[in-house]
Amino acid sequence: MSFRARAATVIVFAVAMAYLEGAVVVYLQRALGMTPAQLFPLQGPDVVGDLAAIEIGREAATVVMLAAIGWLAGSRWVDRLAWMSVAFGIWDIFYYVWLWVFIGWPSSPGTWDVLFLIPLPWAGPVWAPVAVSLALVGFGLAAARQTATGRAPIVGRREGLLATIGGAIVVASFLAQAPALLDERLPGWFPWPVFVAGMAMAGAAATVSLRKGLDAA
DSSP character for 42? -
Mean pLDDT across the chain, nearest whole number?
90
pLDDT, mean of residues 61-69: 93
- C-alpha distance across the termini of the chain, in Å: 22
- Whole-prediction pTM value? 0.90
**Range of weakest confidence among 33-37, 84-88, 195-199:** 33-37
What confidence score (pLDDT) does residue 50 get?
Answer: 61
Higher pLDDT, 33 or 154: 154
What is the distance, to the nearest Å, from the Cα of residue 167 to the centroid of all Cα atoms in its chain? 11
Higher pLDDT, 47 or 153: 153
Residue 41 pLDDT level (bands cut at 50, 70, 90): low
d(CA 61, CA 50): 18
Residue 39 pLDDT level (bands cut at 50, 70, 90): confident
Higher pLDDT, 187 or 160: 160
% of the chain exceeding 90 in pLDDT: 69
Residue 45 pLDDT level (bands cut at 50, 70, 90): very low
d(CA 73, CA 16): 17
Of 117, 118, 114, 119, nearest to 129 (Cα)?
114
What confidence score (pLDDT) does residue 43 get?
Answer: 57
What confidence score (pLDDT) does residue 65 get?
Answer: 94
Higher pLDDT, 33 or 17: 17
What confidence score (pLDDT) does residue 187 get?
Answer: 86
Among the residues of the chain, which ranges form H helices? 3-32, 45-48, 52-73, 77-103, 127-148, 157-175, 178-182, 192-216
Residue 49 pLDDT level (bands cut at 50, 70, 90): low
Q: 18 and 87 in contact (C-beta within 8 Å)?
A: no
**What pLDDT, in 10s, does the model give residues 90-130?**
999 999 999 999 999 999 999 999 888 888 889 999 999 99
